[in-house]
């Protein structure tokens, strides 16, 4: 890696400032163009896209975010690009969104990468890893630590381009109708849980079930499943889980900061003019931040409502249980990376970044939290 001195660093900053002034004085025209040249003039052609999602229609935060994304794109493009949003099941089944966009039946989808682990074994590493990175760290890895290039490599065989499209933050551990006092209590349990977490609880003797959000309540109510995880208090309150499950567990060891995604048909995206491509990317950045902020702003208030209005019994997984789950998680990841070269490549990069950013976080955020909690 090239080393930079303080002089180099300051020089680089000065050059950036000069370049920025040049762009401003030129009104932001692309290099080699002038106002009125072909490259600087929009053709005025309109684009109509279809978005499918894994979320129920108009679903709080997730479905709302998809609608907001479409609205932002329309406004930023001056109406040149419109995206019609379909909730899960309205156009295609929720868990077929990946195939719909890959085939070109839709141009874009909103979902989470771990839903496609059967097609792309490395996909869950771009959503959430048990005992892995939180939202801030995962954003840093994908945006600035090389994760985006690996993600694109994983989806390339399917003619798809992935982008971050939100984050839930640290999730809750789930809803149970019995107390989980030891790791043995997972044996025989039927639990709705996706991604790598599903394989972890299977190691503990449970049976995992992958269900879209729209099917969870009925499945838990009728006994198809015995437990479920979803996201956190804001959603869980609205989903009504407190009516049919007694114990609410923390923390969400399986999803410490789950990235949501936008997946785009690559041909459709590259067929857009460059300004519309940038508008789509900018709207995705905005959606990523808005989603995390919405969850963070709402979760504690709805946790209090669950406790006071629904008399929910809040529980914490014991250190012994978490240590057992961590060990199973390591086994799961070792098995996946041994069987799939791309998964190994992705996880090696993920874990290296987690180690580096973790040391920094221990010195800063962790130390700060310990200070204010003392």
Q: Which domains does the chain have, with CATH numbers?
A: 45-167+258-295 (3.40.190.170), 174-256+309-366 (3.40.190.10)
Q: How far apart are CA 256 and CA 170, in angstroms?
A: 4
Which residues partner with 191 through β-bridges?
208, 227
> pLDDT tens-digit profile of 280-320?
999 999 999 999 999 999 999 999 999 999 999 999 999 99
Q: How is residue 242 written in tokens?
A: 């407190």
* Preceding omega of 251 cis (within 30 degrees of 0): yes
In the numeric block, the tokens 């070109």 are attached to 104
- CB under 8 Å to 196, separation ≥6 — which residues? 114, 117, 124, 128, 129, 130, 254, 329, 332, 333, 336
Q: What is the mean pLDDT of residues 83-90?
A: 97
The dihedral built from the CA positions of residue 60, 65, 68 and 74, taken in this order, carries a sign that is: negative
The answer on pLDDT for 20 being more than 60 is: no
Taking residue 43's Cβ as centre, other Cβ atoms within 10 Å add up to: 8
pLDDT of residue 371: 86
Q: How far apart are CA 85 and CA 261, in angstroms?
A: 15
Three-state DSSP state, 265: strand
Taking residue 140's Cβ as centre, other Cβ atoms within 10 Å add up to: 16
In the numeric block, the tokens 């198809």 are attached to 224
Q: How far apart are CA 367 and CA 369, in angstroms?
A: 6
Taking residue 183's Cβ as centre, other Cβ atoms within 10 Å add up to: 20
- CB under 8 Å to 169, separation ≥6 — which residues? 134, 135, 232, 257, 292, 295, 296, 299
Q: How is residue 186 written in tokens?
A: 């997972």
Q: How far apart are CA 20 and CA 28, in angstroms?
A: 9
Q: Using pLDDT thresholds of 50, 70 and 90, give the confidence band for residue 7.
A: low
> pLDDT tens-digit profile of 218-228?
999 999 999 99
Query: Of 173, 174, 178, whose CA–CA distance to 188 is shortest?
Result: 178
Write the burial class of residue 255 (CB in 10 Å: 0-12 exposed, 13-18 middle, 19+ buried). Answer: buried
Q: How far apart are CA 151 and CA 211, in angstroms?
A: 24
The answer on pLDDT for 14 being more than 70 is: no
Residue 317 is classified by DSSP as -
- CB under 8 Å to 137, separation ≥6 — which residues? 257, 353, 354, 357, 358, 361
More confident residue, 26 or 153: 153
- CA of 123: how far to CAs of 126, 170, 340, in Å? 6, 19, 12
- CA of 250: how far to CAs of 210, 295, 374, in Å? 20, 16, 21
Q: Using pLDDT thresholds of 50, 70 and 90, give the confidence band for residue 24.
A: very low
Q: What is the pTM of this model?
A: 0.87
Query: Of 118, 168, 124, whose CA–CA distance to 329 is shortest?
Result: 124
Q: How far apart are CA 163 and CA 284, in angstroms?
A: 7
pLDDT of residue 42: 57
Phi-psi region of 128 (alpha: psi -120 to 50; beta: other; left: phi over 0): beta
CB 310 within 8 A of CB 108: no
């Amino acid at each position: 890696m090239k080393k930079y001195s303080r002089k180099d660093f300051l020089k680089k900053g000065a050059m950036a400032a000069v370049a920025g002034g040049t762009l401003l004085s030129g009104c932001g025209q692309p290099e080699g163009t002038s106002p009125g040249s072909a490259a600087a003039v929009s053709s005025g052609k309109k684009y109509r896209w279809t978005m499918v999602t894994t979320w129920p229609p108009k679903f709080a935060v997730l479905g709302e975010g998809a609608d907001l994304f479409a609205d932002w794109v329309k406004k930023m493009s001056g109406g040149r690009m419109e995206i019609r949003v379909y909730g899960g099941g309205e156009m295609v089944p929720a868990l077929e969104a990946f195939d719909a966009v890959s085939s070109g039946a839709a141009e874009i989808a909103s979902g989470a990468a771990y839903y496609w682990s059967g097609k792309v074994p490395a996909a869950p590493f771009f959503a959430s890893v048990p005992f892995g990175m939180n939202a801030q760290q995962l954003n840093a890895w994908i945006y600035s630590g090389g994760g985006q290039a690996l993600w694109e490599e994983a989806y390339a065989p399917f003619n798809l381009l992935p982008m971050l499209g939100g984050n839930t933050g640290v999730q809750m551990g789930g809803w149970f109708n019995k107390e989980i006092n030891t790791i043995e209590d997972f044996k025989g349990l039927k639990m709705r849980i996706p991604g790598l977490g599903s394989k972890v609880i299977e190691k503990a003797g449970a049976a995992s079930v992958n269900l879209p959000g729209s099917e969870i309540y009925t499945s838990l109510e009728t006994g198809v499943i015995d437990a479920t995880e979803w996201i956190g208090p804001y959603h869980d309150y609205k989903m009504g889980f407190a009516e049919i499950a007694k114990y609410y567990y923390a923390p969400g060891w399986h999803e410490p900061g789950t990235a949501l995604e936008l997946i785009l048909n690559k041909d459709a995206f590259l067929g857009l003019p460059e300004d519309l491509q940038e508008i789509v990317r900018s709207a995705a950045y905005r959606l990523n931040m808005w989603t995390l902020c919405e969850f963070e702003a709402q979760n504690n208030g709805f946790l209090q409502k669950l406790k006071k209005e629904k008399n929910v019994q809040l529980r914490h997984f014991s250190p012994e249980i978490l240590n057992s789950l961590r060990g199973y998680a390591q086994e799961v990841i070792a098995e996946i990376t041994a069987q799939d070269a791309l998964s190994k490549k992705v996880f090696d990069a993920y874990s290296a970044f987690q180690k580096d950013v973790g040391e920094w976080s221990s010195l800063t955020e962790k130390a700060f939290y310990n200070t204010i909690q003392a």
